[in-house]
Chains A and B, each alone.
Chain A
Amino acid sequence: MSIQLKSSARGYRLSLAGEIGYAQVNELYQVAQQIAKNPKPTTIEWENLHAIHYAGVQVLIALGKSLQNHNLPLRYKEPAPDLYAQLERYGLWQAMIES
């Protein structure tokens, strides 16, 4: 599992890799809070993320809402095919990109 946040003048790049289980959600939540405190356009890079606990999905949606409140976008790069298929099948992908 890897959660990496890179900041630049143009915005944040949040890289997620491996598997985000429930034990890792807290770290993801703290990183998301860090973004929300100093909001900038953010891009999620997660082509190497294979699985995510539902609690992690909620954090990403909540981050999207927080950024939206500042009229800032949360962009998702193309996820790994299996993860995308799962998120799409259970209606979560739509909720994420709408947030």
Chain B
Amino acid sequence: MDELFQLFYDESNEMLEGMEQILLSLEERGPDPETVNALFRYAHSFKGNSAAMGFTHLSKFTHGLESAMEVLRKEQRPLTPEMTNLLLQAVDVIRSLLERTRTEGDVGDPQCEVILQQLSQVLQGAPITPTPAAPSTPAAAEVENTEPQPVQYRVSYQPAPTLSAEHDPLQLLNELEAYCQILECRFTHQIPPLDALKPDACYGSWEMVVATAFEPAILRAILELSAEGATVQIEPLASDSTATIADSSETTTAAVQPVSSSTPSATTTPSTSPVSAQKTESQSIRVATEKIDALFNLVSEIVIAQSMLSTAQSAETDERLRNAITQMERHVRELHERVMAIRLLPISYLFNRFPRMVRDTANKLGKKVNLVIEGEETELDRTLLEALSDPLTHLIRNAIDHGIETPEERRRAGKPETGTLTLSAYQAEGRIYIEVRDDGRGIDLERVRQKAIQLGWLSEHDQPSRETLLDFIFQPGLSTAQQVSDLSGRGVGMDVVKRNVESLGGTISLQSEQGQGTRLQIKVPLTLAIMDGLGLNVGGEHYLVPLTTVVEAFQPESLQHSAMFDTYEVVNVRGRFVPLLRLCQFVGLPPSDEAGLIVVLEQDGQQIALQIDSIVGQQQIVIKSLEENFVRVPGFSGATILGDGRVALILDVGELIRHAHGAQKTERALAMAG
């Protein structure tokens, strides 16, 4: 049962996300029938699912929404901003109710009634009545007085000719009563004797007089729901007319001819239809993430075991066993790749959260922002996706709050009133690049400089480079925002963003042109779990680097080495001087007697020449977190278990490069100044 509930919650959240996206796209591009249909289908499915789980409040509320959407769908009404706002509010209320059902069960929310009432008013073209306050206040009394008074309608309802599990006219009449009071009801029929009866044909119809404050289109939508072919006529009764149905004989009112159903008999209809529907939907299944994680952990262990087998293989003389191990290695690699693929999700799962946030944030700040999303099909490990959510949320809020100007400011600056915020993702060099770009005011470097002086990071006479000033943005406590808003501007955040990204093995960089805009680029590894590595030996110890960072390896000649300054050495690599880092020194081992090898590593466009004793070989490595299992060790991004059972450290190439390029020196200077 727990699994069933979990499935319900997972599906519900997906549906809510889908509804939100559709509403935003409708607002942006205007209504088109297919999109409105999709919106309607979401609400319809949500209603059915929540009813099946016993959440009647949710079901009733979504039914009301479904009815409103049915009006949009049938009458092809334009979606006004008021309607969009109300429907988005409705999505929020459903989300909140959904969360509450986890702990409180079947609960309602007074906001549901308010939203449905306001939707009805908007559909009638009336101004929205504000949410009623406490009933005793005069304001509330005023609100009550402005609420629409019930109007009487004559309703003729001829159900669709074919009945089904979903199409039960009695159920629809029950639902109708949630929106009106049925004052009179007359049932007419042409039900034949049993031998002529088709059990799935509908032979009846109803004539009613109802009173309602809701839009009649909502009543129509309810009665036309669930089955195509129903006929509904709704006419307002004149205010002075008596609420009485004209006495109609069976011959005139019960003209419902049973339409011969194409279904051969009722025996097969209810049982076969769902089965055939299931067949068409069975191309994907939903699997709990814990199960995938467990599978993945198992594959990780198999990769380690395989690595041990491969190590033992070198000493093995039996040709058949050697071949079997080689074949096994191939299969394990493929198994790993396939399981990895299960963990990969398109980044749209993350990006799709942002259109709503951008819209709401921009509205709140009185700005106009067009969000452009690029590369949403780029796939990323699920763990990384979740971990990137907070940093990206922060960057996007910052871009709207601080970057993009108000329409007035933009006009004055000769820019279009609507700012553009671009969120893009792509894969390159074995890493995922995510960019947040805006065409706003950019970062005022002089203000950053002044702020750094105020904070004691710089003296008045310092003339730091542009890069150093931009790097201050990622230091704790710096905000150049003139006003602190509830969105950003408290100087808390960019340092946390940087730390979060770095904890994922990623980097973040910033480019900004005053008046032109700002670009933040995040680079993260494809996965945090398994990668191809190159084993390096120094002083008898085994270290690993990600294979994607390896450019080349060579045996240096003495002339290629050159000392520079006091502490740095460079190596001549085909006419380019690359900073040299002696790994034995870096890890605190005594200098090696061996002539050694140079391995050139590259990350983010920067290279380093790493001197080692020898290359051990290429292998798949399962990354184990040092922070989780031990402590964070500077210079190392993790550890792995080797084929012989020993633990080897994985070098953090980014940090080695920063070290060699003297970045650490700058950081130390900053820390001392701070």
Residues facing B in A39-94 (CB within 8 A) are 52-55, 57-59, 61-63, 65-66, 69, 86, 89-92, 94
Q: Which residue of A lies closest to B192 (CB)?
A: A62
Interface residue tally on A, bucketed by range: 20 to 34
A62-B187 contact in complex given A29-B199, A54-B169, C-beta closer than 8 Å: no
A57 close to B170 (CB less than 8 A):
yes
B166 → chain A closest CB, angstroms: 8
The distance in angstroms between the C-alpha atoms of A62 and B194, with both chains bound, is: 5
Residue B174 interfacial (CB < 8 Å): yes
Instruction: Find chain A residues with CB under 8 A from B206 CB.
Output: 90-91
The distance in angstroms between the C-alpha atoms of A94 and B184, with both chains bound, is: 14
Residue A15 interfacial (CB < 8 Å): no
B266 close to A26 (CB less than 8 A):
yes
Instruction: Find chain A residues with CB under 8 A from B186 CB.
Output: 91
Residue A9 interfacial (CB < 8 Å): no
B202 close to A22 (CB less than 8 A):
no
The distance in angstroms between the C-alpha atoms of A25 and B203, with both chains bound, is: 15
A91 close to B185 (CB less than 8 A):
yes
Instruction: Find chain A residues with CB under 8 A from B203 CB.
Output: 58
A54 close to B202 (CB less than 8 A):
yes
Contacts between chains A and B (CB distance < 8 A), count? 90
B191 close to A99 (CB less than 8 A):
yes
Residue B168 interfacial (CB < 8 Å): yes
The distance in angstroms between the C-alpha atoms of A99 and B582, with both chains bound, is: 100
Query: Which one of A23, A29, A54, A90 contacts B185 once the chains associate, using CB atoms below 8 Å?
Result: A90
A29-B163 contact in complex given A54-B170, A59-B194, A65-B192, C-beta closer than 8 Å: no
Scoring B residues 143 to 186 as 1 if CB is less than 8 Å from chain A, else 0, what string do you get? 00000000000000001000111001110011000000010011
B270 close to A53 (CB less than 8 A):
no
A22 close to B170 (CB less than 8 A):
no
Q: Which residue of B lies closest to A51 (CB)?
A: B170
Instruction: Find chain A residues with CB under 8 A from B168 CB.
Output: 22, 53-55
The distance in angstroms between the C-alpha atoms of A21 and B165, with both chains bound, is: 7
The distance in angstroms between the C-alpha atoms of A80 and B191, with both chains bound, is: 24
Instruction: Find chain B residues with CB under 8 A from A23 CB.
Output: 165, 270-271
B447 → chain A closest CB, angstroms: 70
Scoring B residues 196 to 211 as 1 if CB is less than 8 Å from chain A, else 0, what string do you get? 0101101110100000
Residue A36 interfacial (CB < 8 Å): yes
The distance in angstroms between the C-alpha atoms of A53 and B159, with both chains bound, is: 14
Residue B195 interfacial (CB < 8 Å): yes
A62-B165 contact in complex given A26-B199, A53-B170, C-beta closer than 8 Å: no
B185 close to A36 (CB less than 8 A):
no
Residues facing A in B551-605 (CB within 8 A) are none
Residue B81 interfacial (CB < 8 Å): no
Instruction: Find chain A residues with CB under 8 A from B60 CB.
Output: none
Residue B193 interfacial (CB < 8 Å): yes
B169 close to A29 (CB less than 8 A):
no
Residue B189 interfacial (CB < 8 Å): yes
Residue B267 interfacial (CB < 8 Å): yes
Query: Which of B173, B174, B199, B204 has the most A CB atoms < 10 Å from its CB?
Result: B199
Residue A16 interfacial (CB < 8 Å): no
B192 close to A54 (CB less than 8 A):
no
Instruction: Find chain B residues with CB under 8 A from A54 CB.
Output: 159, 163, 168-170, 202, 204
The distance in angstroms between the C-alpha atoms of A69 and B195, with both chains bound, is: 12
Instruction: Find chain B residues with CB under 8 A from A62 CB.
Output: 191-194, 197
A22-B270 contact in complex given A54-B204, A57-B170, A86-B170, C-beta closer than 8 Å: yes
A66-B194 contact in complex given A26-B266, A53-B163, C-beta closer than 8 Å: yes
The distance in angstroms between the C-alpha atoms of A86 and B185, with both chains bound, is: 11
Q: Which residue of B lies closest to A92 (CB)?
A: B187
Instruction: Find chain B residues with CB under 8 A from A66 CB.
Output: 193-195
Query: Which one of A22, A58, A86 contacts B204 once the chains associate, using CB atoms below 8 Å?
Result: A58
A73 → chain B closest CB, angstroms: 15
Q: A22-B165, A90-B170 are in contact. List 15 more A-B contacts (CB 8 A).
A: A22-B163, A22-B164, A29-B197, A29-B199, A53-B163, A54-B163, A54-B202, A55-B163, A55-B202, A58-B199, A58-B202, A90-B173, A90-B187, A91-B186, A91-B187
Return the 10 tightest CB-CB contacts between A and B, nearest first: A91-B187, A22-B165, A66-B194, A62-B197, A66-B193, A65-B193, A62-B194, A36-B194, A55-B163, A54-B170
Q: Could you pull out 11 A-B pairs where Cβ atoms are within 8 angstroms?
A: A22-B164, A22-B165, A23-B271, A25-B266, A54-B168, A55-B168, A55-B200, A59-B194, A62-B194, A66-B194, A66-B195
Q: Spell out A's residues near B (CB within 8 Å).
A: 21-23, 25-26, 29, 32-33, 36, 52-55, 57-59, 61-63, 65-66, 69, 86, 89-92, 94-95, 99
Q: Spell out B's residues near A (CB within 8 Å).
A: 159, 163-165, 168-170, 173-174, 182, 185-187, 189, 191-195, 197, 199-200, 202-204, 206, 266-267, 270-271
